[in-house]
């Protein structure tokens, strides 16, 4: 899954997005609420479109997920990944 803002894009591996424990963890660690749990009791991860450009490049989501499962891409820098 991927959502693009004006400055930042967020990519999350689909397998990771459907993991309830990791979805909950990502929704808890993001200080600007980019990640949320799906509605209707579904514990699937959703990316909140209107919050994508609020990313402060803190790396908390990258540290909370397995390596390579979440990518933060800087659209203003040719889609360079946040490392």
Residue 27 CA neighbour count, 13 Å, CB half: 18
Q: Which residue has the tokens 């424990």?
A: 21
Residue 58 CA neighbour count, 13 Å, CB half: 15
Give percent of the chain above pLDDT 70.
95
The pLDDT tens digits for 11-51 are 999 888 889 899 999 999 999 999 999 865 667 899 999 99
Structural domain boundaries enclosing 61: 2-81
Dist CA 19 CA 8 (whole Å): 24
DSSP H helical ranges for the chain: 14-17, 20-29, 60-64
Q: Which residue has the tokens 């991927």?
A: 2
CATH of the domain at 29: 3.30.70.20
Question: For the chain, what is the domain count?
Answer: 1
């Amino acid at each position: 899954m991927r959502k693009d803002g004006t400055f930042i894009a967020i990519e999350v591996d689909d397998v990771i997005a459907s993991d309830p424990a990791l979805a909950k963890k990502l929704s808890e660690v993001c200080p600007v609420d980019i990640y949320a749990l799906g509605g209707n009791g579904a514990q699937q991860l959703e990316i909140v479109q209107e919050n994508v450009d609020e990313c402060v490049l803190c790396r908390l989501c990258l540290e909370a997920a397995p390596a390579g499962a979440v990518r933060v891409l800087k659209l203003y820098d040719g889609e360079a990944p946040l490392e």
